[in-house]
Amino acid sequence: MYKSPFLSSIYDEMMRRRYAKRTIETYLHWIKGFILFHNKQHPSLLSDNDVETYLDFLVLKRNVAGPTQALVLNALNFLYKEILQKPLSLELRFVKSQKPRKLPVVLTRDEISQLFAQISANYYLPAALMYGSGLRLMEAVRLRVKDIDFDYCCVRVWNGKGGKHRTVTLAAELKNALQNQIKRAESFLAHDLNNPDYDGVWLPHALRRKYLAASKSLDWQYLFPSDRLSNDPEDNALRRHHIDETGLQKAIKSASHKAEIRKIVSAHTLRHSFATHLLASGADIRTVQDQLGHTDVKTTQIYTHVLQMGGNAVRSPFSSLGV
């Protein structure tokens, strides 16, 4: 997968340890950047000072935000502790990013309606769950059939960001569409079971060992299955994966352009809008925190800042001029 034998060995080790594909790609991206920054020297020949220099460069020259710098440090910590067995010092000294966190882009309810009027039918439902239940992009595409609880009108999110589980609200208006989507997943499964090479849907290894038949049961199939079978990079098994997240991202951006929304809209904008609209309708911030899966309420409070801006908080003195 990687031309560098060293990077390939890190990839193989992270796969062996069951790291998420996205985490592997991100860590390897920054480890490669670290190596290139130091003129392709092997990391075993570099030291804490070289790590500090790279982190300083990212802030002073690349102007990365604090969370990005922290992510790079996590990647390099993994490299030195787990791969090279030379843990970094706990007292690294580097310039910490002071780049302020951006306020989230939030759509009005009218803009949300306009966007959904334009979105492709193939991506309407996962996008609706992102806005209606506050799901992250990968949480939406990774949903399994069993994660939809129609009786209690909720969605169960397993292993979200930080490996956390949570239960979120489900819009009753989406029930019929979800039931039809489950029938679609069931149709795919029936077709796949007739294929002697089909190895079932991907499952975490502990579950794979505990529930031997689960990979070919409807409950464990992805709610939004891919249109085609593919080989699992982990073991080359023939499986049906979930839809590609980039397709959903593109569909949301395309819909925003068609709706002529004059804001920079991304998939995450739907989650931002969910949180802001909940707070605007009177929901308690702790409730919103639970729905979003935030560990710290301070992360959730950024949405109160959006509501407090402009006319929502202060009457402009211009309004008193009478002109």
Calculate the alpha carbon distances from 38 to 9, 11, 32, 33, 75 in Å: 20, 21, 10, 9, 16
Average pLDDT over residues 147-168: 91
Strand, helix or coil for residue 230? strand
Average pLDDT over residues 289-308: 84
Residue 66 is part of a domain; what is its CATH number? Answer: 1.10.150.130
Q: What is the mean pLDDT of the chain?
A: 90
C-beta of residue 203 within 8 angstroms of C-beta of residue 163: no
| 319 domain-assigned | no
Give the global pTM.
Answer: 0.81
Catalytic residues: 136, 161, 268, 271, 294, 303
Strand partners, 239: 230
Check pLDDT > 60 for residue 15.
yes
Check pLDDT > 90 for residue 92.
no
What is the domain extent for residue 149?
102-312
Torsion of CA 258, 259, 260, 266, to 10 degrees: -90
Check pLDDT > 70 for residue 318.
no
Q: Are residues 77 and 201 in the same domain?
A: no
Q: Are residues 161 and 276 in the same domain?
A: yes
Check pLDDT > 80 for residue 166.
yes
Q: Are residues 120 and 260 in the same domain?
A: yes
Average pLDDT over residues 54-66: 91
How would DSSP label each residue in 254-288?
HHHHHTT--S---HHHHHHHHHHHHHHTT--HHHH
pLDDT more than 70, % of the chain = 94
Check residue 95 and give its pLDDT.
Answer: 80
Residue 269 is part of a domain; what is its CATH number? Answer: 1.10.443.10
- Per the structure block, which two tokens stand in for 213? 């038949």
Average pLDDT over residues 288-299: 89
Average pLDDT over residues 199-228: 90
If one compares 246 and 315, the residue with the highest pLDDT of the two is 246
| 322 domain-assigned | no
Residue 314 contacts by C-beta under 8 Å, 6 or more apart in sequence? none
Domains in the chain: how many in total?
A: 2
| 94 domain-assigned | no
Check pLDDT > 90 for residue 303.
no
If one compares 64 and 255, the residue with the highest pLDDT of the two is 255
